[in-house]
């Protein structure tokens, strides 16, 4: 038999919940039960992966301390993870004993919260332990209290070993009728893998950035009548080209925000503009897309961008000055 203990407190000295857990663990180990304690404050970065630890458990103890309001965030986050990533078929066979000690008010509400949550998950909650502890030392020295704690551990052991039958609860019926959650058919292995992705900060951050980039892209498509930002940039140069006699140059713009360099090939009255890569450019310019937008909207110029350091330039600086003559942008244009 294996029982997992999930402790959602802060682990501070004098926490009465820790005393209760130690007494329960002693009793269970004397009954040849394997007890694994998981301190959620140590696993706060990996809480979404912890539902996988339920897969080989016959019973669990959910424990927390009410210090000012409720059972605390770590335990609630763990229960959230069980709802989203836990193997519900496995949870349905797991007996849960709640332990809530309080140094203020609310231990009974805490017990009810844990029992209701486990009920909603489809598990088997049993009666637990709750108490208000004003003086931790006096509480620990009271042998009658210790006897109650030991009996609770024995009750959990008996419930699991005898596979105690649980009477139907309204929580399950109500959940089936009113739950609006969209169920996704995933195997337990796929669910566990998903929980690992959710706990990977780098993966989550990358996904957020990708979503933000896609959102911006489609917003710009709507704003620009379906044209991409690259198309709008090319159109900006083509629509404001002022040919100069006997002038030839190749400009290469590396714009932060575009995947490929923007190339402008100027030959007398002809302009070729496209995205690609070349090595024979006359002038190489580096700038951010926002600064290029400011220039094409007439709020700045290539010369100003260069002088302010917003655009880095390599190549023939005389040809750099010609940019503002062959491409004339203005706010009214």
Query: What digits encode the pLDDT tens for the residues 186-199?
Result: 565 666 566 666 65
Among residues 226, 314, 236, 301, the alpha carbon closest in space to that of 271 is found at 236
**pTM of the model as a whole:** 0.57
Judging by DSSP bridges, how do beta strands 124-125 and 2-7 pair with one another? unpaired
CA 205 to chain centre: 8
8 A C-beta contact, residue 155 and residue 127: yes
Q: Which DSSP symbol is given to 304?
A: H
pLDDT digits (tens, 9 = 90+) for 134-188: 999 999 999 999 999 999 999 999 999 999 998 877 766 656 655 545 555 556 5
Angle at 230 between CA 228 and CA 235, to 5 degrees: 95
pLDDT digits (tens, 9 = 90+) for 223-234: 555 567 888 889
User: Does position 128 have pLDDT exceeding 60, yes or no?
Assistant: yes
Confidence of residue 116 (pLDDT cuts 50, 70, 90): very high
In whole angstroms, give the CA distance from residue 190 to residue 185.
9
The share of the chain scoring above pLDDT 90, in percent, equals 63
Per-residue pLDDT averaged across 58-76, rounded?
Answer: 93
The residue extents of the domains of the chain are 2-198, 229-326
Question: What's the pLDDT at 197?
Answer: 62
Confidence of residue 333 (pLDDT cuts 50, 70, 90): very low
8 A C-beta contact, residue 311 and residue 302: yes
Q: How many CB atoms within 10 Å of residue 319? A: 19
User: Does position 313 have pLDDT exceeding 50, yes or no?
Assistant: yes
CATH number of 229-326: 3.30.1050.10
**94-108, 168-182, 198-212, 218-232: the lowest-pLDDT one:** 168-182
Q: Does domain 2-198 have CATH number 3.30.230.10?
A: no
Confidence of residue 216 (pLDDT cuts 50, 70, 90): low
């Amino acid at each position: 038999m294996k029982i997992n203990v999930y402790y959602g407190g802060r682990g501070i000295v004098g926490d009465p919940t820790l005393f209760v857990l130690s007494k329960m663990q002693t009793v269970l180990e004397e009954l040849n039960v394997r007890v694994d304690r998981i301190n959620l404050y140590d696993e706060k970065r990996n809480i979404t992966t912890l539902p996988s630890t339920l897969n080989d458990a016959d019973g669990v103890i959910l424990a927390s301390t009410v210090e000012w309001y409720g059972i605390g965030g770590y335990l609630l986050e763990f229960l959230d993870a069980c709802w989203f990533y836990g193997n519900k078929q496995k949870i349905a066979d797991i007996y849960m004993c709640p332990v809530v000690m309080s140094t203020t008010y609310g231990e009974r509400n805490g017990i009810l919260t844990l029992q209701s949550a486990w009920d909603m998950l489809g598990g088997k909650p049993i009666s637990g332990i709750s108490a208000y502890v004003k003086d931790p030392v006096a509480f620990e020295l009271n042998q009658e209290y210790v006897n109650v704690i030991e009996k609770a551990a024995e009750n959990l052991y008996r419930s699991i070993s005898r596979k105690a039958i649980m009477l139907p609860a309204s929580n399950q019926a109500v959940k089936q009728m009113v739950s609006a959650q969209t169920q996704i058919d995933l195997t337990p292995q796929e669910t566990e893998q998903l929980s690992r992705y959710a706990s990977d900060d780098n993966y989550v951050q990358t996904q957020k950035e990708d979503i933000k980039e896609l959102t911006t892209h489609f917003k710009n498509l709507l704003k620009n009548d379906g044209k991409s930002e690259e198309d709008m940039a090319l159109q900006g140069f083509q629509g404001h080209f002022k040919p100069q006699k006997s002038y030839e140059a190749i400009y290469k713009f590396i714009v932060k925000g575009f995947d490929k360099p923007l190339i402008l090939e100027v030959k007398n009255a002809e302009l070729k503009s496209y995205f690609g890569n070349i090595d024979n450019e006359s002038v190489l310019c580096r700038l951010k897309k926002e600064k290029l937008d400011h220039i094409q909207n007439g709020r700045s110029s290539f010369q100003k961008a260069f002088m302010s350091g917003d655009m880095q330039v390599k190549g023939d600086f005389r040809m750099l000055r010609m940019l503002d003559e062959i491409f004339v942008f203005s706010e009214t244009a």
